[in-house]
Structure 1
Amino acid sequence: MTNPFNSIGIPLEPPPTQPPICKKCKRASEYFITRRSNRNGNAGRPCYKCLPCDNFLVFCDRRGNDPENPKCHCGYSSKRQITGRSKSVPGRVHYVCRLGECDFYSPSRDENGQDNVIAGELADKLSRLSFI
């Protein structure tokens, strides 16, 4: 079970309550559970995906749903995530629409404007704490 509070005790925002509509083909997405073999720290996470487009929309859990995250184009707080091992910059922290409704994407940057990147073992520990 994921932690329902952020690091300072504020309740995390809820996940989508219904399948989001795919931004590519405008069809309803379908509910899935990620494979146990997922090596990006997402094993067993519920998510929504559009089958006709093979388009991943959003994880539908509270992990990364901090109310202090930036607001997405929908006006709701976003979901904090981290890029997987197969991406050009593994471990890059970023924000996406937590409801899967809009195309919001914003990299997390430090005070010098550099992308926040988290290394493997630390990323695994933070994912277990529901931070990312």
Structure 2
Amino acid sequence: MRKPSKSFTTRHSNRNGNAGRPYYKCQPCNKFLCFADSRGNNPGNPPCDCGVSSKTQVAGKEKKVPRGVHYVCRLGKCDFYKPCVENGKQVAVESDDLVHRLAMLSIL
């Protein structure tokens, strides 16, 4: 389902490794949708409801640990969400250091 979204930029004081990153937010519900940059974009990711490849993201620090890896619409236009699953279990990242390293490689 397509919903109107708007682009924003995270504060430079963001301590989650996302300082200065552009992101999309759903206008009607004010919900974070996805980051609006190339990190996590992979043509091999599953397609979202828009028909384009999705973006790989990891749940924020405020979520439970370990932080689950999931796919979302990389365009911020639909509410596609799919957990990244391997061997029947959701892929999760145990440490902030690993999240940082994967982010530096543009994987997450």
TM-score by length of 2: 0.85
Task: Give ranges in structure 1 of 5+ residues lacking alignment.
Answer: 1-20
Query: Would you say 1:60 and 2:22 are equivalent positions?
Result: no
**How far does residue 115 in structure 1 lie from its aligned partner after superposition?**
1.1
- Partner of 1:117 in structure 2? 92
Which of 45, 52, 55 is the equivalent residue of 1:79?
A: 55
Runs of 4+ in 1 over 3 A off after TM superposition: 50-53
**Residue 115 of structure 1 aligns to which amino acid in structure 2?**
Q
Aligned pairs (5 A) from 1:19-58: 23=3, 28-50=4-26, 53-58=29-34
Evaluate the alpha carbon distance shift between residue 74 and residue 30 of structure 1 in structure 2; reply closer, same or farther with a 3 A threshold: closer
SS in 1 for 2:8: strand
Distance in 1 between residues matched to 2:96 and 2:9, nearest whole Å: 23
**How far does residue 46 in structure 1 lie from its aligned partner after superposition?**
0.8
Distance in 1 between residues matched to 2:78 and 2:7, nearest whole Å: 18
Distance in 2 between residues matched to 1:114 and 1:50, nearest whole Å: 29
Root mean square deviation, CA, Å: 1.8
Percent identical: 56
Distance in 2 between residues matched to 1:52 and 1:107, nearest whole Å: 24
Q: Which has the larger radius of gyration?
A: 1
Distance in 2 between residues matched to 1:63 and 1:108, nearest whole Å: 16
Query: Would you say 1:88 and 2:64 are equivalent positions?
Result: yes
Task: Give ranges in structure 2 of 5+ residues lacking alignment.
Answer: none
Number of residue pairs matched? 106
**How far does residue 90 in structure 1 lie from its aligned partner after superposition?**
4.5
**Residue 92 of structure 2 aligns to which amino acid in structure 1?**
V
Distance in 2 between residues matched to 1:29 and 1:74, nearest whole Å: 14
Q: Give the number of the structure whose residues are more often strand, by fraction.
A: 2
SS in 1 for 2:101: helix
- Partner of 2:74 in structure 1? 98
**How far does residue 34 in structure 1 lie from its aligned partner after superposition?**
0.5
